[in-house]
Chain A
Amino acid sequence: MSVGPSAVDPGWPNPDLAGRQWRRLSWVGWVGIGAISACALIAVIGPWLAPHDPAQTLSNESFGFPREAAFLGTDYLGRDLLSRLLHGGRLTLLLSLATASLAFALGVTSGFAAAIAGRWIDLLLSRVVDGLLAVPSIILALMVIGSLGTSVPVLIGAVAVIEGGRIFRVARALARDLSVMDFMEAARARGEGMLWLMLREMLPNAAGPLMTEFGLRFTYTLLFISALSFLGFGIQPPSADWGAMVKENIEGLLYGSPAALLPAALIAVATIGVNLMIDGFLDRRNVDRVPEMLP
């Protein structure tokens, strides 16, 4: 069972194409797009804007207050907070994007394969995923990290497999609907192989709902990786993503330093942004039609 909004629109396949929905994008959706653009900008040009080396100690004082040299103050080791935030953004967002993409590749490939490759493969894959999703995801990730040790490849692999299990379900459901359609029948009659069926017939036709799912999975992946980083199982010092920055600076909270609050807030801006944008795009007529009739 997945917590959060379901990505599969009950009215799918939807005759309204993206073009019509663009015009109806609400201001909430535009706020989301703005937030994502700001985060993407930090990730792309942030490291060049940083006034200091993120690893350079500016003063001996922990959690120094803002002054000229350090615009936002310093962190627990006296390093410039602003520079570390600007450098950490690229790490955070790239790591999440890479993990979400890997999860997506895994989930969509296996989901499509399960739907068209025959009963036994479907049964096998579905049961494996059921088992995987029966364990709460953060607990499973902690167990895997506990036995493989803390490293970035382990982090990416563990999160990608766990999130991939959820994508598998969405992809399989979409592919099962598609696999009985006429164009699939025609392609099979032409004698096309599995790869052609999956990439040229199914993928384009499932692209809309899958894009929504990708957005949602990206935010879950970002939250998941940030939580693991915060717990100390992600990026290791001296470099830090935003989640790890929250962990290393959390002591400063007691002295009134915002060093832990700012990276946490930036993560929140990124995830809220993606969710608001998706919400702005989703067709809400199915949900809102009924009450219009009420007195």
Chain B
Amino acid sequence: MRFGVPVALWAAARRLLIGLTTIWVVASIIFAATELLPGDVAEAVLGSDATPESLAAMRARLGLDRPVLVRYAVWLDHALLRFDLGTSLGSDRPVAEVVGDRLWNTARLAALTALLAIPAALALGIVSAIRAGSVLDRGIGVVALCGISVPEFFVAISLVYVFAVELGWLPALATVRPGQTLPAFLRSVALPAATLAIGLMPHMIRQTRNALLAALSHPHIEMAVLKGVPRTVIILRHALPNALAPILNIVALVSAYLVAGVVVVETVFGFPGLGRLMVDAVATRDTPVAQACALIFAAAYVAANAIADALAVLANPRLRVPR
């Protein structure tokens, strides 16, 4: 335990184990939410005028005639070990096929959002901390607070109103086709990505500012002040490296925000992504597709939290030693 590498490896292995356990818990909760709660999926799919025979056939097809524990074991085995997510009830295609393109679209949207939001939010957060207490800082703070408070669809609709309807610069609906050129893709996802970025930035700005100000309360900062180091240098050279761990936590923040934001924003813009797929699947009671989407969202969320933890350990050597 005394050498650097094995200790770091041990910490990483421990984190991986926690992550896997969480995925198992999440898969169990998704199973419980769909299977244990009252409400007959077979009846929901076939409608209330279904005959008893067709209901029984549908239950057998969905495996609903087996005991709960058997279904739980089968679900864990298929979802987590074989990545076999079943067949869509709506289209009779394999779920993996239905989900595949949608996942890729959402991943591209999320990546573009992160690319837009992270640098801008870091810059604004640092400026806010450097000018803490000033009119600029207070202004950024109030605007960020408003940004946190408004629903995504308000931002989305306002952007459509200005940029698509009044100015006519960008399309109101985000159409994505296979084989689309990059500029065409960027044009069509510009408004959804901007909406998500506007929703995401306030959280990151506040986190960055508060982490920096917390780092400023350390004694070595007072030392630097007494030495006569300029304010900007104190913030960027003395405080920022010590605030890195909480700032890196925005990776977790980004994922938590995007999972919720993507569901609403994709619906507003008609973007063919995972969020809208899940909403449609829930509305049409296509349980296997809804379960698959939920599992992917939850897994992305858990993975991002694990990555944030790992980055925090890398940024702060003191965390590398297990307590």
Measured CB to CB, the residues of A under 8 A from B are 1, 3-5, 28, 130-132, 134-140, 142-149, 219, 223, 226-227, 230-233, 243, 246, 250, 253-254, 256, 258, 260-261, 264-265, 267-268, 271-272, 274-276, 279, 287-288, 290-295
Contact = CB atoms under 8 A, between A and B. Distances in A.
A271 B153 CA distance: 14
A149 B37 CA distance: 11
B150 A272 contact: yes
Contacts of B268: 250
Contacts of B142: 28, 276
B136 interface: no
Interface residues of B, number: 74
Nearest to A149: B39
Given A142-B282, A295-B228, A227 B294 contact: no
Contact of A138 (B132, B133, B158, B263): B263
B154 A3 contact: no
Interface of B: 22, 25-26, 28-30, 33-35, 37-39, 41, 44, 129, 132-133, 142, 145-146, 148-154, 157-158, 160-161, 165-166, 172, 203, 206, 210, 213, 216-217, 221-222, 225, 228-231, 234, 252-253, 256-257, 259-260, 263-264, 267-268, 278-279, 281-283, 285, 287, 290-291, 293-294, 297-298, 301-302, 305
Given A137-B260, A254-B165, A268-B154, 10 more contacts: A3-B256, A4-B148, A143-B33, A146-B290, A147-B39, A231-B279, A271-B150, A272-B145, A292-B133, A293-B225
25 contacts: A1-B305, A130-B25, A132-B29, A135-B29, A135-B30, A137-B260, A139-B293, A139-B298, A143-B33, A144-B37, A146-B287, A147-B287, A223-B151, A227-B153, A230-B151, A231-B263, A233-B283, A253-B160, A253-B172, A264-B153, A268-B149, A268-B154, A271-B150, A275-B148, A287-B213
Given A227-B153, A261-B158, A275-B145, A149 B44 contact: yes
Contacts of A138: 259-260, 263
Contacts of B38: 148
Given A147-B33, A267-B151, A294-B231, A136 B132 contact: no
B290 A227 contact: no
5 cross-chain pairs, A with B, having the tightest CB-CB distances, nearest first: A291-B132, A264-B154, A143-B33, A146-B282, A268-B150
Nearest to B229: A295
Nearest to B228: A295
Contacts of B281: 146
Contact of A227 (B44, B151, B253): B151
Contacts of A5: 148, 206
A231 to B, nearest CB: 5
B297 A139 contact: yes
Nearest to B268: A250
A144 B278 CA distance: 13
B126 to A, nearest CB: 13
A275 B225 CA distance: 35
